[in-house]
Structure 1
C-alpha cells in the first residue's frame, strides 16, 4: 500500500477501537492507524478471528503489529463491550451486517445494525470515550428519488420508500438511532461518514460487493450491464476521511459524504478498464440494458430493482462539505477503478480473459 500523508493532529489520539476490521474498509483502516503509530484495539466476534485481521494488515504493508490488540465482542450481545472500550479515546464503528443475498426477514439486518450501533455508542459513552465515528452509507442519504438527483448531507433516504432493500433500510435506521441516542443522552461526540460505492486496492480474496463488480467484468461474467450511474470513492480515501472525522474539532455532530467525483455508469467503468487493459477488451461488457429491459428483468431479479427504480438518472453527489470542513482530497475516480483492477490481478484473483 502506498504511503499516505498523515492526518493533521493524529498524534493527539490515544488507543483507537475499530469494529468490523475483517471487512474491506476496516482492514485498510487498521493498517493506516498502525502505520501512523496509533495503538489500535480491534473487536472480533469470536476468538481466533484475529488471524484474519493480521492477514489484511500484512497485505497492506503495515509493520507495527506491536501496537495491535484484540477484544471479543459481538454487535448482537452486550457481553464484551465494556472491556472493549475500556481505556479507549476514540471509536471507529465500521461493522454492520451485509449479507450476500437479501434476508427473508428484513429485521435480520435492521436489528443488528441499529442495536449494534447503540451498544457500541452506549458503551463508549459510559467509558468516557471522546468521539465515535460511525460508518454509515450513501444508502442512508440518496435512495429516495429527488427530481434534481442532487444529494448532500442534508438529505436522508426515507425508510418507507417503496421497494427499499433491507440493507439500505438498515443503514438509515441505524444512523438515525445513533444520532437520536447522542442527542437524547449527550456525553459523547458523534461523527458519521457516508460512503458511496467503495473501490480501490483489495487486501485479500474475500471481496466486497463493489470490488467483485470489477472482477466480474474482467472475467467476462457481466457481458451486459444495467443502465445505472453511481458514485465511486477509493477505500483509502474513505479511511482518510474517517481519521479526519475522528480528530478534527469541527467534525463533531456532522455527517460527511464520501465520493470521489462525478457519478459513473457500469458501462463507463467498463470503458475505463478497456482502455487500461486492452487484453481484457473482449471480456468486458460493451452494452447495457435499456430502462424498459431493466424494469422487466427486475420483476424476477431483485438485484436490478435499484437500477430499474432510478430509471437511468445520474445522481450528483456533493463532497463539498468534507473538502471544506476537513480538507479532504479524494483520488480521481478513474485512478480508483484502475487501482482496483491492478490489485485484483496482482493478487492473482483475476486473470483477464479474451475470446478463446
Structure 2
C-alpha cells in the first residue's frame, strides 16, 4: 500500500502554515508524494521545518505560488491527484483584503483544478466561522446545516471571508462545464485549532496561547471556544481525501464540548505554574473589555461575542470520517510545551521539558 501511495501526489497549499505543516507531515508519513506551495522559497524560517520532516527528501517538492495570482496555479496543479487547499488569511484583525484574498485564492485554486484532469478531489479548509456567526445562536447547538449570515449583526471580517469563500466554492462546483474536470469537493469546518506547532512561525492560534503563557493579558475575557487539535484536523483532511463518502459534504471539526477562555488558561496553569509560569486566571468583567476595545482593534473584534455560549455537534466527523477527537486539555498542554521548545515562549528556570508530545 505504501508503494502505491508513492505514486499519488497531493498538493497542499500554504504548506508552511500551522495546520498545513501537520498535513504535509502526515501525508509523508502515510506514503504520499507531496507538492507544497509557499509564498517564497527564500524564507528559511518557513521552509526549513518542512525540509526537516521525515521523508521530505524523498517525497516533498516545494514550489512558489500566490493565492491572488491565478496564472500560477495551472502549473502548480499539474500531475496532482488530490488538493488540500489549506491556505487562507487568518489575521488577528481582518480587513477587506482578507475577504478578497480568501475568495480569489479559493476560486483561483478551484479553477485550476477544473482545467487539470488529474485532480480527483479537493479538500477545502473552511472554518466554524462560516457556520455560527451573524445569527443569534446563544445557547443553541449548531451543525453543518447552519451558515453564518454575512449581513447579520456581530459578524467580523474574518468570519465573512470564510463564509463568502466557502459559499463561492460550492457555487463554483455547480458551474463546471462539460468537458472540464468535474472533481469532487469536501469542505472541513474546524473550530479554534490548537496543539503543538511544528514551526517557529507565529500564527493567530499560537499568538493567543503565547500571550496567556507570557501573562501579556491582564485577565481573561468571557469568550467561548470550540477547539480541535491540529493533529486531528490534519488527519481529518487526509481521511476526507481518501473517503468517497465525504464527497460533497461539509464537516464540522470540534471537540465534544465547548470551553471558556478561563478553561484554556486553567489547563496551562495546572501544568506550568509549578514550572515558573504565571498564568492569568482573573476573569475580566464586560465593562473592562468594552473599555479596552477603544484602544485595541483586536479587542473590539471580540466584543460582540463576550458571554455568548454556543454548542456544536461533531457527530458527522465521528461517524463519517471515524475521527476520534483529542481531549482539548492535552492539546493545550502539548501546545504550551511546543511553544517553549520552539523558543516562542521563554524557558523559566523551573521548566521541565518532556521527551515527547
Distance 1:233 1:38 in 2: 24
Task: Quote how far apart the aligned CAs of 1:12 are.
Answer: 9.4
Q: Deviation of residue 13 (structure 1)?
A: 7.5
Deviations 1:130-177 (A, max 9, x none): 111111111111123314331111111111123422111111100100
> Any residues of structure 2 matched to 1:23-38 within 5 Å, and which?
23-38=17-32
Q: Counterpart of 1:3?
A: none
Match of 1:22? 16
Larger deviation, residues 298-307 vs 79-88: 298-307
Aligned match of 2:144 in 134, 139, 153?
Answer: 153
Structure-1 separation of matches of 2:165 and 2:281: 38
Structure 1 length-normalised TM: 0.89
TM-fit CA distance, 1:221: 0.9
Pairing 1:174–2:165 present: yes
Structure 2 partner of 1:349: 344
Q: State the shift of 1:297 in Å.
A: 3.4
**Aligned to 1:225, what secondary structure does the other structure show?**
coil
Give the structure 2 partner of residue 72 of structure 1: 64
8 Å Cα contact 1:274-1:280 kept in structure 2 = no
Contact 1:34 1:65 in 2 (8 A): no
Gaps of 5+ in 1: 1-5
- Alignment of 1:43 with 2:37, yes or no, is yes
Corresponding residue number in structure 1 for 2:255: 260
Is 1:138 equivalent to 2:133 in the alignment? no
| 1:112 shift after superposition | 1.6
Q: 1:207-286 alignment to 2 at 5 Å?
A: 207-279=202-274, 283-286=278-281
- Return 156-165 or 279-288, whichever deviates more: 279-288
Residue in 1 aligned with 2:48?
Answer: 55
- State the secondary structure of the residue aligned to 2:71: coil
Q: Which residue of 2 aligns with 1:301?
A: 296
Offset at residue 275 of structure 1 (A): 1.2
Structure 2 contact 228–325 (Cα < 8 Å) conserved: yes
1:127 aligned partner? 116
Q: Do the aligned residues in 1 keep the contact of 2:45 with 2:201 (CA within 8 Å)? A: no
Displacement of 1:109 in angstroms is 1.3
Structure 1 residue 100 displacement after superposition: 4.6
Aligned to 2:332: 337
Runs of 4+ in 1 over 6 A off after TM superposition: none
Q: CA deviation at 1:352?
A: 5.8
- Residues 259, 193 of structure 1: alpha-carbon distance in 2 compared, 3 angstrom cutoff: same
Alpha-carbon distance change, 149 to 311 in structure 1, aligned in 2, over 3 angstroms = farther
Pair 1:167–1:73, CA change in 2 (3 A): same
* SS of equivalent to 2:90: coil
TM-score when scaled to structure 2?
Answer: 0.89
Deviation at 1:280, TM superposition (A): 5.6
Pair 1:324-2:313 in alignment: no
State the SS of the aligned residue for 2:37: strand
Shift of 1:45: 2.6
* Aligned: 1:99 with 2:91: yes
Does structure 1 conserve the Cα–Cα contact (< 8 Å) formed by 2:254 and 2:312?
Answer: yes
Give the aligned partner of residue 74 of structure 2. 82
Most deviating of 342-351 and 25-34: 342-351
Kept in 1, the 8 Å contact 2:85–2:123? The answer is yes
Task: Evaluate the alpha carbon distance shift between residue 46 and residue 79 of structure 1 in structure 2; reply closer, same or farther with a 3 A threshold.
Answer: farther
Kindly indicate whether the alpha-carbon contact (under 8 Å) linking 1:218 and 1:280 is maintained by their aligned counterparts in 2.
no
Q: 1:156-200: per-residue Cα shift (whole Å, max 9, x none)?
A: 111112342211111110010000000222712110111111111
Contact 2:114–2:176 (Cα < 8 Å) also in 1: no
* Conserved 8 A contact 1:189-1:252: yes
